[in-house]
Amino acid sequence: MMASGAGDGSRGRASDGWAKDVTAATDLMSIRGLEVRGESAIRIGDAELGLARTQDGDRVVILAPDRCPALEGLEGEASIFQGRRLLIGPTNPRNLSALRKLFPWLAPRILGLHSSFGFGDRLGSATPGHVRALRAASVPLAPIFAQQSIREMERTGRDATEVLNDAAWGVFAAGWREGYGADADHLKTIADVDACLAAGYTFFTFDPGAYVDGSADSQPAHSVRAALEDLPWKELDDDSRRMFDRYLRTVLDFHDRSLRFDEDGIARAAVKYGRAVAHVAVLYRHLKARGADAEVEVSVDETETPTTPAQHAYIACELRRLGVEWVSLAPRFVGRFEKGVDYLGDPSAFEADAASHAAIARRFGPYKLSLHSGSDKISVYGALARQAGDLLHVKTAGTSYLEALRTVATLDPGLFRAMYALARDRYEEDRASYHVSASLERAPSADSLRDAELVSLLEGFDTRQVLHVTFGSVLARHGERLRTVLRAHSEAYEANLERHFIRHLAPFEMLRPKTAP
């Protein structure tokens, strides 16, 4: 279903000229003792602003005449430099609020149907590296820099506002003025929606996975029919007779295929996804009742069994019938999408599956086809782009955290050894809520490796997954020391992220508009 904003040009460039009144700063960059991030330095009127690297993290720096409007609302330590006021302040919510009044691009925006890429950031410091990769790859993907699930927020000890603010500071640091989205990821409850709405998110991913009955695919027919009668028909504003009447007389024609429903198939689709559809409708109506200017993604990817084309069509038909509007939908594709590693399965089977799902997304929307658990699934990105075209979204998360660990493995081997040892101790418990198949028997102890070899643990299938899913335990014990290392070596971390994400983004080069010969 086409979401709000989809028909207003939002599929074009994710920018609207916000940067037209600003130019590069020069005086700020010349102040001795200040390591000002060059991309952040900006002049607006008589004021120059930017972010400076310090041992304690980035600091806001403003050089402006006294009583300059650019100083309003900003706090920090003031001094005089060459006849102007020099203010050095913290990267706190108050200063961010003041800067957003000057630079609207620091706030997230609606992206509509523009093809997009989600950069999850468990530490809150990865956005500058993500921006570097976007610039280097130069692909037509609108970025979502603030993206974190409630589950990840709980495990990292951050809240929705901190996640969004950290991304905004990263946008400022990198000088990114092309617009970005903010994804309140995998929301399951009304309380989750309210928390992220209050923080200012623009993209709400509804996850009704707890309401999906994966056993419907394998139950005997009589059990399916019995389960069908127990669906929440009142919430669905429907009954089984009317449902069968609708679908059994419907044939969906696509340009190269058709889809016909049979009684058993539609019954299984309803039993599998009916409660999930009803729950999404509840979350959506609540969001809209709050007057939110936001777009919605529906995610049914975190289930054991794939979403068949007929089941995808059922979800889309029922959501549309219930008045739900969405901008993207994440089915459960064939194959395995485990954390931290490439796609497990036959890439040609994935492409055939993606072709069917993309055809349904065009037929019932158009809306974007969304690939979740997208970190490191490089072998199937090209297939997704070929089939979905410019109607796609990819979501990554933990792979940026692994690049932080790569940085630490090189620069502070002792800390990395301690984190890896804890990850091995915690793996069996922490893996419970993730799709992984790593075995500790195949994850060697770091004791057998020299310091220079530790980084090789970031390349192994089993060790990557062990490190990937234990982030909550590791950050609880070693998080502050990890962040200290990354602050001291932010350039190395950003370079690692740039290199890593160029590999993720390069397969989407085919989405660039073709130029005439």
pLDDT digits 0-9 by tens, 224-244: 999 999 999 999 999 999 999
Q: Give the confidence band of 12 by pLDDT, cuts at 50, 70, 90.
A: very low
Q: Which residues of 131-157 are buried (b: 16+ CB within 10 A; e: fewer)?
A: bbbbeebebbbbbbbbbbbbebbebbe
* Residue-wise pLDDT tens digits, 111-149: 999 999 999 999 999 999 999 999 999 999 999 999 999
* Residue-wise pLDDT tens digits, 52-77: 998 889 999 999 999 898 899 999 99
Q: Residue 59 pairs with which residues in a beta bridge? A: 52
User: Given a cut of 80, is residue 23 above it in pLDDT?
Assistant: no
Q: At what angle do helices 490-505 and 398-411 cross, to 10 degrees?
A: 140
Tell me whether residue 95 is in a domain: yes
pLDDT value at residue 7: 38
Q: Which two tokens stand for residue 305?
A: 């069994």
Residues in the chain, overall count: 517
Reading phi first (left if > 0) and then psi (alpha if -120 to 50, else beta), residue 268 is in: alpha
What value does the mean pLDDT take over residues 462-486? 98
pLDDT value at residue 493: 98
With contact defined as beta carbons under 8 Å apart, do 113 and 87 qualify? no
Q: Counting beta carbons within 10 angstroms of the beta carbon of residue 367, is it exposed (0 to 12), middle (13 to 18) or buried (19 or more)?
A: buried
**Rg, the chain, Cα only:** 24
DSSP string, 279-333: HHHHHHHHHHHTT---EEEEE--SSSS---HHHHHHHHHHHHHTT---SEEE---
* Residue-wise pLDDT tens digits, 250-287: 888 887 778 889 999 999 999 999 999 999 999 999 99
* Residue-wise pLDDT tens digits, 430-472: 999 899 999 999 999 999 999 999 999 999 999 999 999 999 9
Tell me whether residue 93 is in a domain: yes
User: Given a cut of 60, is residue 6 above it in pLDDT?
Assistant: no
User: Given a cut of 50, is residue 10 above it in pLDDT?
Assistant: no
Residue type at position 181? G
Q: At what angle do helices 190-199 and 160-174 cross, to 10 degrees?
A: 40
* Residue-wise pLDDT tens digits, 173-195: 999 999 999 999 999 999 999 99
Tell me whether residue 62 is in a domain: yes
User: Given a cut of 50, is residue 78 above it in pLDDT?
Assistant: yes
With contact defined as beta carbons under 8 Å apart, do 91 and 59 qualify? yes
Q: Counting beta carbons within 10 angstroms of the beta carbon of residue 337, is it exposed (0 to 12), middle (13 to 18) or buried (19 or more)?
A: buried
pLDDT value at residue 2: 42
The Cα 234–Cα 207 span in angstroms is 21
User: Given a cut of 50, is residue 20 above it in pLDDT?
Assistant: no
**Cα-based distances in Å from 410 to 144, 416, 489, 492:** 29, 9, 11, 10
User: Given a cut of 60, is residue 214 above it in pLDDT?
Assistant: yes
Q: Which residues are catalytic?
A: 185, 297
The Cα 353–Cα 226 span in angstroms is 30
Instruction: Compute the C-alpha angle 75/78/82, nearest 5°.
Output: 135
Tell me whether residue 426 is in a domain: no
Q: Report the Cα–Cα distance between both ends of the chain, in Å, rounded.
A: 36
Domain region containing 35: 23-102
Please enumerate in sequence order all residues whose Cβ is within 8 A of that of 306, keeping only pairs 6 or more positions apart, or say none. Answer: 331, 332, 333, 334, 353
Q: Give the confidence band of 22 by pLDDT, cuts at 50, 70, 90.
A: low
The Cα 328–Cα 349 span in angstroms is 22
Q: Give the confidence band of 8 by pLDDT, cuts at 50, 70, 90.
A: very low
As a 3-state breakdown, the chain gives helix, strand, coil percent values, each rounded to 5, of 50, 15, 35
pLDDT value at residue 516: 54
pTM strictly above 0.75 = yes
Our count of domains for the chain comes to 1
Note every long-range contact of 285-289, with CB atoms under 8 Å and residues 24 or more positions apart, other chains counting.
Answer: 285/323, 286/190, 286/193, 287/193, 287/197, 287/204
pLDDT value at residue 3: 44
Mean pLDDT of the chain: 93
What value does the mean pLDDT take over residues 363-369? 96
Q: Which of 418, 422, 397, 398 is nearest to 408 (CA)?
A: 418
pLDDT value at residue 424: 98
pLDDT value at residue 14: 39
User: Given a cut of 60, is residue 21 above it in pLDDT?
Assistant: no
With contact defined as beta carbons under 8 Å apart, do 181 and 148 qualify? no
Half-sphere exposure (Cβ direction) of 69: Cα atoms closer than 13 Å: 6
Tell me whether residue 306 is in a domain: no
Tell me whether residue 113 is in a domain: no
* Residue-wise pLDDT tens digits, 301-322: 988 899 999 999 999 999 999 9
What value does the mean pLDDT take over residues 335-344? 96
pLDDT value at residue 250: 85
Q: What sign has the CA pseudo-torsion 368, 373, 375, 376? A: negative
What value does the mean pLDDT take over residues 98-102? 95
Tell me whether residue 75 is in a domain: yes
Tell me whether residue 65 is in a domain: yes
